[in-house]
Amino acid sequence: MKNSILTILAVAAMVACKKNQTTTSDQSADSASMMTPADTMITGDSATTGMTDSDAQNKMLSEQDKKFADAAAKGGMMEVMIGELAETNANNATVKSLGAMMVKDHSKANDELKNWAAATGYTLPTSLDAKKQKMYDDLKAKKGTEFDRAYTDLMVTDHKEDIAEFKKQAAEGSETSLKSFASTTLPTLEHHLMESEKAKKAVN
């Protein structure tokens, strides 16, 4: 009889232990499943930390885009600066008018490029490179007919180069807004070339 009672108690104890183990493991599974979304959220947040919108957009710009934007900014600045020189240093009325047109049109294009850069988070150059600075300094030292000839020569050469660069960007650029800027500015540059060639004939 004693043996039977002990056996029953032993079995009861074993069943009770199994229930506790099952409950414990169920609770562990529940707590693990509850933690999973929180863990995932933390990982997701940390993966995006440190990346700003402008960083992301800058990574989307190709080397062609960056090269073009830098060249257009420096070229546009020089056009305005030497256009202002033409308004004061030129002898021929046609050359003075050409300078005024360059200042007006290139100031507008420069503003459009700056607006693009601000929207994209791209930093444009704010000063001329050594080559363009030398061109400006050389022209600044000239007056009258000598200035007229040097300025119109430069405008013809420079606008031929500009047109080639803007056509390349319109065809091969990656960033849509910058491609559009190149395309819409091209007719103005072509008009500048035509007027520069007329002014060059007038002073030679």
pLDDT tens for residues 85-102? 999 999 999 999 999 999
CA distance 61 to 36: 38
Question: What per-residue confidence (pLDDT) applies to 2?
Answer: 47
pLDDT tens for residues 15-30? 455 545 544 445 544 4
92, 203 in Cβ contact below 8 A? yes
Question: What per-residue confidence (pLDDT) applies to 57?
Answer: 54
Q: How far is CA 36 from CA 33, 40, 43, 47, 71, in A?
A: 5, 6, 11, 17, 52
pLDDT higher than threshold 80 for residue 134 = yes
pLDDT-based confidence at residue 204 (cuts at 50, 70, 90): confident
More confident of the two residues 58 and 133: 133
pLDDT tens for residues 66-86? 999 999 999 999 999 999 999
pLDDT-based confidence at residue 9 (cuts at 50, 70, 90): low
Two tokens at 106? 């290139």
Two tokens at 108? 């507008």
Chain position carrying tokens 């710009």: 61
pLDDT tens for residues 171-191? 999 999 999 999 999 999 999
Model confidence, pTM? 0.71
